[in-house]
Amino acid sequence: MSGGGRGRISVQRQFSAVKRIVVKVGSSSLIYSTGRPNLAQIESLVRQLADLHNQGKEVLLVTSGAIGMGLNRLGYTRRPKTIPEKQAAAAVGQGILIHLYERCFAEYNIPVGQVLLTREDFAERRRFLNARNTMYTLLRMGVLPVINENDTVAVEEIKLGDNDNLAALVGVLVDADLLILLSDIDGFYESDPRLGPARMISEVREITPQLEQIAAGTKNSLGTGGMITKIQAAKIAMHSGMIMVLAAAAEKDVVRRVTNGEPLGTVFWPSLRLENKKRWIAYSATVHGKIYVDEGAAAALLQKGKSLLPSGVTRVEGDFEMGNTVSICDPDGREIARGITNFSAEEINTIKGAKTKDIAKLLGHKGYEEVVHRNNLVLSGYPNP
């Protein structure tokens, strides 16, 4: 349990060796209820990040707030309902937001670079690698990246209204050591603390169905994205070798104190580290279709780590091409894995249930024996390194 250790350094939370840090801050931490920017909060955050930068740490900031600042500048008194209006507000607010950060960081002689990302930048492998190279170049040049999802075009993100998953994916993109989510709540609780007394969970080593159920139950009361998006971010971080800390943005010097090892908020410890390509398959790639397999093939994938052969395939859903990422489902329709397919949906429909020796006869060519090779496959819920 957390709460009694304020001001002390945790023996476990030894973050001194952490080199690359992603910090995410939400709209409610940057904007007053009047719609105007919270300058004291922004200046405090910038000072703490600048201090980490001066220590030789590599720091990336994932920030919300563009839509809120745009709405205020455009004279809206409440959040509009239509997507085009929100996109227009984002277009106006993005300039205001980066201008604020640029002015604040300039006081510490730290250059910033604005990076706007969409889901497609993570989902398409070539764009993912290009984005990674851009981030590495900025960091190498001493630039502090200020990152947001491109709200002017990213319809799905506007509907969610939350950058928790974006921050986790940025951490995956740059192989970060530590992800700090700054929220309007000071940690992960066993129940919603806004509805009554609740106990904070000081550390998490496994995302259990019970934790996911707790998070889902607090969705409507804890901000737009709620706790469920923070659990989703934690799952990505924990399976990518990243430490994640959820803490209150309003806590004094929160970033400095978290990185110094004080037991603030909830820490999510990494459970394993997937290799880069499998992390991309598991958390970034767009799923283009489904491949259903029989019980024998499901057991071979789950228990023996085998590749998926055509003999175990029962049916195909969707229209996908060779090289696309697909979901692999057991006879009951549950996703058991994701992987990069060696054949198109049409080709798999032709060879499903067949022996590998018959592929050439059925298709007229044989480039691969496996529908999905084990090196390009990640188990769902039980990611294999």
AA identity, residue 224: T
Number of domains in the chain: 2
Is there a single domain that holds both residue 109 and residue 214?
yes
Residue 48: pLDDT band (50, 70, 90) is: very high
Is there a single domain that holds both residue 369 and residue 247?
no
Q: Is 221 left (phi over 0), alpha (psi -120 to 50) or beta?
A: alpha
Asked if residue 152 lies in contact with residue 94, where contact means CB atoms within 8 angstroms, the answer is yes
Query: Among 224, 252, 273, which residue terminates a domain?
Result: 273
pLDDT tens-digit readout, 65-91: 888 888 889 888 788 778 888 888 888
Residue 222: pLDDT band (50, 70, 90) is: very low
pLDDT at 383: 45
Report if residue 331 sits inside a domain: yes
pLDDT tens-digit readout, 96-148: 999 999 999 999 999 999 999 887 788 788 888 899 999 999 999 999 999 99
pLDDT at 4: 39
pLDDT at 335: 93
* Integer CA distances (angstroms), 13 to 58, 200, 202, 235, 270, in order: 19, 17, 11, 19, 13
pLDDT tens-digit readout, 285-319: 889 999 999 999 999 999 888 999 999 999 999 99
Report if residue 201 sits inside a domain: yes
Is there a single domain that holds both residue 212 and residue 329?
no
pLDDT at 7: 52
pLDDT tens-digit readout, 361-384: 999 888 889 999 999 999 886 444
Q: To the nearest 10°, the Cα dihedral for 98, 100, 103, 109?
A: -60
Is there a single domain that holds both residue 200 and residue 325?
no
Strands 203-204 and 243-248: unpaired
Among residues of the chain, what percentage have pLDDT more than 70?
A: 90
pLDDT at 384: 44
**How far, in Å, CA of 346 to CA of 364, rounded?**
13
Return the SS3 of 155.
helix
Provide the CATH number for the domain around residue 171. 3.40.1160.10
Residue 180: pLDDT band (50, 70, 90) is: very high
Residue 50: pLDDT band (50, 70, 90) is: very high
Query: Among 215, 250, 273, which residue terminates a domain?
Result: 273
What is the strand order of the sheet 287-293 is part of? 313-317, 287-293, 325-329, 335-340, 377-379
Closest among 63, 61, 64 to 22, alpha carbons compared: 61
Beta strands in the chain (DSSP E): 20-25, 58-63, 112-117, 144-149, 178-183, 188-189, 200-201, 203-204, 243-248, 266-268, 287-293, 313-317, 325-329, 335-340, 377-379
Is there a single domain that holds both residue 96 and residue 237?
yes
Is there a single domain that holds both residue 180 and residue 125?
yes
pLDDT at 71: 87
Is there a single domain that holds both residue 240 and residue 355?
no
Is there a single domain that holds both residue 243 and residue 298?
no
Domain of 351, in residue numbers? 286-379
Report if residue 242 sits inside a domain: yes
**How far, in Å, CA of 15 to CA of 304, rounded?**
36
Provide the CATH number for the domain around residue 350. 2.30.130.10
With a cut of 80, say whether residue 39 has pLDDT above it: yes
Query: Among 217, 238, 273, which residue terminates a domain?
Result: 273
pLDDT at 122: 84
Compute the Cα dihedral for 225, 63, 247, 28 and give only its sign: negative
Report if residue 1 sits inside a domain: no
**How far, in Å, CA of 310 to CA of 145, rounded?**
45
Report if residue 7 sits inside a domain: no
With a cut of 70, say whether residue 218 has pLDDT above it: no
Report if residue 8 sits inside a domain: no
Is there a single domain that holds both residue 222 and residue 182?
yes
Is there a single domain that holds both residue 90 and residue 205?
yes
pLDDT at 366: 81
Among residues of the chain, what percentage have pLDDT more than 90?
A: 54
DSSP secondary-structure letter at 28?
G
pLDDT at 358: 93
Is there a single domain that holds both residue 204 and residue 296?
no
Report if residue 186 sits inside a domain: yes
Which residues fall within 8 angstroms of residue 296, CB to CB, at 6 or more apart? 312
Report if residue 13 sits inside a domain: no
What is the rounded average pLDDT of the residues 165-193? 90
Is there a single domain that holds both residue 71 and residue 133?
yes
pLDDT tens-digit readout, 263-294: 999 999 988 667 777 888 888 788 999 999 99
